[in-house]
Amino acid sequence: MDTLLAIPSAAPGGLDAGMGMHFGHCDVFTLVEIENNQVKSVSTLDNPPHAQGGCLAPVQLLAGKGVKALLAGGMGFRPLMAFNQVGIHVFYAGQLPTVGEGVSAFLNGQLPEFSQEHTCHGGH
């Protein structure tokens, strides 16, 4: 199954970039096109400033690009529900240091789907 995966990243993005642990505050999203369980292409997408639409602005942005899956280390309950509503599956990437390592773990089926237990509760 072909899929477009988004990963919150530190600038400038790409597979060697550090993962942005909270998607709403990351510098950019690295977009990875996956075909036959292989990386087909890698591109980046600027994250809109957090003030413009808060945590829900990236949801619409990524949905509009055709993203089907997102890796995240931290996320609040509202954006998680919003991603689910637009058909984007969110996977918990924990503390993986780089985007490339996150993509590898995703391709190997090692990342659990994000659930309510993983959501941020303010001070998380």
Q: Which domain holds residue 97?
A: 3-116
> What pLDDT sits at residue 51?
61
Q: Is residue 44 included in any domain, yes or no?
A: yes
Percent with pLDDT over 70 in the chain? 88
Residue 124 domain-assigned (yes or no): no
CATH of the domain at 21: 3.30.420.130
At 17-66, the pLDDT tens digits run 999 877 777 889 999 999 999 999 999 999 877 665 666 788 999 999 99
When pLDDT is cut at 50, 70 and 90, the band that residue 114 belongs to is confident
User: CA dist 11 to 17, 25, 27, 36, Å?
Assistant: 7, 12, 5, 28
pLDDT at 121 over 60: no
pLDDT reading at 123 higher than 50: no
Q: Could you give the number of structural domains in the chain?
A: 1
pTM check: above 0.85? yes
CA-to-CA separations, 101 to 2, 23, 61, 85, 108, in angstroms, rounded: 19, 17, 24, 27, 11
- pLDDT recorded at residue 13: 96
Residue 121, domain member (yes or no): no
Dist CA 76 CA 65 (whole Å):
22
